[in-house]
Amino acid sequence: MPPDPILRAKARQLLHSFEQELFSDIATLEKNLKGADKVRASIRDQLTQLAPILANQTFLLGEEFSMLDVAVAPLLWRLEHYGIDLPKAAVPLMKYAERIFSRQGFIDALTPSEKIMRR
């Protein structure tokens, strides 16, 4: 977490938002349950809203890699696996994702099954 109390509060707020709006319905996609298309659309829309933020800064909280980036990276890695196609407006988000995916720590943390999810 960032040392600055304002950034810590922002990080907690964004993480809570991710948990409520992005991660809460992942089980529906994993099990391909009824309503999966609605969940895909919701996740696509929520992620697309992050694109303008990432057009102006390197990571979610600015220029420093944080726990927020660690939290959202697995979802971004699995977008294709879940059948989520992002619109052209999300190009900054995809560039951000590639920055995270190129980090050695991220590469080292991938399991063999995760590595084959994305080619």
Number of domains the chain contains: 1
State yes or no: pLDDT of 91 exceeds 90.
yes
Residue with token string 């298309």:
37
> Mind listing the pLDDT tens digit for each residue in 29-79?
888 778 899 999 999 999 999 999 999 999 999 898 999 999 999 999 999
- Is the distance from CB of 92 to CB of 55 less than 8 angstroms? yes
Token pair of 41 as six digits: 């659309």
- The CATH code of the domain that includes 46 is 1.20.1050.10
How many Cβ atoms are within 10 Å of 90's Cβ, its own excluded?
A: 22
Domain extent, residue 75, equals: 5-115
pTM, rounded to two decimals: 0.89
Q: Give the model's pLDDT for residue 88.
A: 96
